[in-house]
Amino acid sequence: MEERKCARVGDDQAEIPDSVLIHVMPYIDDPKDRDAISLVCRRWYQIDTLTRKHVTIALCYSTSPDRLCRRFRHLESLKLKGKPRASMFNLIPDNWGGHIGPWAREIVTGFDCLKALHFRRMIVTDGDLQMLATYMGRALQVFKLDKCSGFSSNGLIPIARLCKQV
């Protein structure tokens, strides 16, 4: 990466080189802090894009799968939430949405470093699970389905084989 300078800090106008930011950013774990940092300037946004390892998407419709993939190609962990919490109390119709299909297709084609996936309150089909197992290979170390529906034990078999210790 080219050694460029971005923001001026303090009254003495000292500049922070990119090499320092690249080494410091991974130690900033709080998502709100990372979001604030990415707003400082374009260069910090790009460095955040390169160094962020985990993203939680609170509502799967708040962004598109391809947009997430374009911004964070090097993610190691993704937590994706589907239906709002109100669905647990039957306040949202069953066919409201929260389908994992578009996300699964983007995940298998767009993320090379992904090691952990966590889906919450989403509709997951056996085909989605088969696709994730087939294309993620043994790279996927953690896989969680939390309050999800739409799949059967037949869909879980490929995932179980994927996670089986050799």
Same domain, 88 and 39: no
| 142 phi and psi angles, rounded to 5 deg | -130, 130
Q: Are the CB atoms for 25 and 48 separated by under 8 Å? A: yes
Domain identity same for 135 and 151: yes
Residues 31 and 60 occupy one common structural domain: no
Task: Please tell me whether residues 90 and 166 are part of one structural domain.
Answer: yes
Identify whether 2 is part of a domain.
no
Taking the C-alpha atoms of residue 3 and residue 13, their distance in angstroms, rounded to an integer, is 18
Give me the domain span that covers residue 42.
9-51
Q: Please give the tally of structural domains in the chain.
A: 2
Q: Tell which wins on pLDDT, 81 or 160.
A: 81
Q: Are residues 43 and 121 in the same domain?
A: no
Q: Same structural domain for residues 14 and 34? A: yes
Same domain, 24 and 62: no
Residue 108 lies in a domain: yes
Identity of residue 77: S
| Res 104: pLDDT | 93
Q: State the Cα–Cα distance between residues 81 and 117, nearest whole angstrom.
A: 11
Asked if the model's pLDDT at residue 166 lies above 60, the reply is: no
Beta partners for 47? none
Task: Tell me the average pLDDT across 121-125.
Answer: 93
For the domain that residue 26 is a member of, what is the CATH number? 1.20.1280.50
Percent of the chain with pLDDT over 90: 47
Give residue 97's pLDDT: 81
Shared domain for 24 and 60, answered yes or no, is no
3 state SS of 9? strand
Classify 54 as helix, strand or coil: strand
Q: Please check whether residues 120 and 79 belong to one and the same domain.
A: yes
Query: Considering the domain boundaries, does residue 78 fall inside one?
Result: yes
| CA–CA gap between residue 93 and residue 125 (Å, rounded) | 18
Report the predicted TM-score, pTM, of the whole model to 2 decimal places. Answer: 0.81
Inside any domain, residue 3:
no
Residue 68 · residue 106 · CB < 8 Å: yes
- Largest Cα span, the chain: 64
38 and 106: one domain? no
78 and 40 both lie in a single domain: no
